[in-house]
Amino acid sequence: MEALDILDSLNEMTVFYEPIFSADSHSIVAYEVSGKLTVDDKTIDIIDFTYDSTMPEDLRKEVELYLIDKALSETKDALKEYYLYLPCNPNLFMTDIGDAYFQTIKKNVDESLLSKIYLVIPAHKYEGEAEDLHHPIRYMKTYGVKIALDEIGKDSNLDQILMLEPAVLIINISQLNYDAWGSQNPVFTAIQNLAIKMGAALMFHDIKTDYQLHHAWKHGARYFKGEYLQKPSTQLNPKDALKERFRNDCKQFIATERKQLELKYEEMKKLKRNISTIVEQSKIQSNDVESLLALARKLNQYAFRFYICNEEGFQISPNIVRKNGEWVVEEEALGKNWSWRPYFLLNIIKLKDDAKGELSNIYSDIKTGELTRTFSMKLDDDEYLFVDISHDYLYEHNLLI
């Protein structure tokens, strides 16, 4: 395929708009732009073409700018109602530090509506320094233009995300499975937390089934797109076109989630109550190994490890650990301090006023690597018991979610 053939055919380019749905309004709030061009009976996906390094850089940039220009000229009257997500190859963008892209946008969009424009940038495809990309982006953001970082995943650079300060993080729904990048994956959790701290929204795309839509909704998506909702089209649809269907789907998700949460809450209450009762009925002392082993036998179905700390976080008992079905004593843990752990001291303060104890969120145990929760409760004389719950118990009682 020759460059001149592509240039001669640009006016035949077709722009497609994929609707983006909002979790709060259940309506279409934006459209993401893509394009196709047929040259010599071969159809080119414009976004894929812009990353084809076998084609001249200036040609690829001209094609992407043509797509942006055409999309904006077709939709400028709709920007009062919708946001528009425009493709942006960061390597082409930086050939003139973003000026051509910004001028193309300003030519078509009134300054009062620039806040309706998002540049969709797959940051991991950028071949330069993130700091260099940050400067023109920051300049455009002063005019209201926003950034959506695409293809966020397990290989994403969190420092780069933080530097670019995107308004939206776009994640492919296929990554939300336990074989690839599940919801308990530390990177996914870190990205969720980072998004919250930055005030960025999560968008999940490529949604093909109601299950995937539910999965995205459950994992904090504010925005959704994919063929299950609506395929890309050459036309913009009314914002409430699928509102009733989407709302009904969400009502089902809410009902399912509430039931699961209620069951989970009851299981957590039962676990806390059972362990508290066992401990209260046991006469344990932090320096009496026999009393600790007696407690261990009573906790056999619940725990794989426990220990006692003082209110400063110093461990005043050995670890009592179950190994190969037997409880063993690890004296080397005596005297270690755990106050450096996030929320440790805050948890101690809470336990002073809560006789029922606390059950932590899910986390990966540093030694075993397995998912666990820790139950903690106040004993007498400013001592605090920490019981690490076994993965098997959590799994059997649906407490791993």
DSSP 199-257: TPEEEEE---SHHHHHHHHHTT-SEE-BTTTB--BSSPPPTTTTHHHHHHHHHHHHHHH
Q: Which residues are CB-neighbours of 381 under 8 A, at least 6 positions away?
A: none
What whole-number distance in Å separates Cα of residue 164 and Cα of residue 149?
9
Tens digits of per-residue pLDDT, 345-395? Answer: 888 888 887 767 899 988 888 888 888 999 999 998 789 999 999 999 999
- Rounded to whole angstroms, what are the CA distances from 165 to 162, 196, 198, 243? 5, 12, 7, 31
User: Where does the pLDDT of residue 13 fall: very low under 50, low under 70, confident under 90, or very high at 90 and above?
Assistant: very high
The reported pLDDT for the residue numbered 185 is 64
- Tokens for 322? 């179950």
CB atoms within 10 A of CB 232: 17
Q: Quick one: pLDDT at residue 391?
A: 94
pTM: 0.84
Q: What is the token pair recorded at 263?
A: 């069951």
- pLDDT > 70: percent of the chain: 97
**pLDDT classification of 49: cutoffs 50, 70, 90:** very high
Q: Look up residue 391 and give its two tokens.
A: 């993965």
Mean pLDDT of the chain: 91
From CA 328, how far away is CA 296, in angstroms rounded? Answer: 9
Higher pLDDT, 336 or 5: 336
- pLDDT tens per residue, range 329-346: 999 999 999 999 888 888
What's the confidence (pLDDT) of residue 203?
96
Q: What is the pLDDT of residues 275-300, one digit of tens each?
A: 999 999 998 999 999 999 999 999 99
Q: Which residue has the tokens 């968008």?
A: 203
Structure confidence at residue 186 (pLDDT):
67
Q: 260-271 pLDDT, tens per residue?
A: 999 999 999 999
The answer to whether the beta carbons of residues 276 and 373 sit under 8 Å apart is: no
Helix and strand numbers (H, E) in the chain are 13, 17
**15-19, 174-178, 191-195, 364-368 — which is least confidently predicted?**
174-178
In single-letter form, the type of residue at position 103 comes to: Q
Q: What one-letter code names the amino acid at 310?
A: N
Distance in angstroms (rounded) separating the CA atoms of residues 349 and 352: 5
Neighbours of 104 (CB within 10 A): 18
What whole-number distance in Å separates Cα of residue 385 and Cα of residue 380? 10
Beta carbons within 10 angstroms of residue 322's beta carbon: 17
pLDDT at 2 > cutoff 80: no
Average pLDDT over residues 322-327: 94
Output the pLDDT for position 124: 87
Q: How confident is the model at residue 4 (pLDDT cuts 50, 70, 90)?
A: confident
> Shortest CA distance to 70 belongs to which of 84, 58, 59, 54?
84
* Mean predicted confidence (pLDDT) in 199-227: 92
Question: What is the structure's pLDDT at 176?
Answer: 67
User: Do the Cβ atoms of 221 and 203 come closer than 8 Å?
Assistant: yes
85-128 per-position pLDDT tens digit = 999 999 999 999 999 999 999 999 999 999 999 999 998 899 98
pLDDT bin (cut points 50, 70, 90) of residue 177 is low
Region 6-21 average pLDDT: 92
Quick one: pLDDT at residue 182?
A: 53
Handedness of CA 336, 337, 342, 347 (dihedral sign): positive
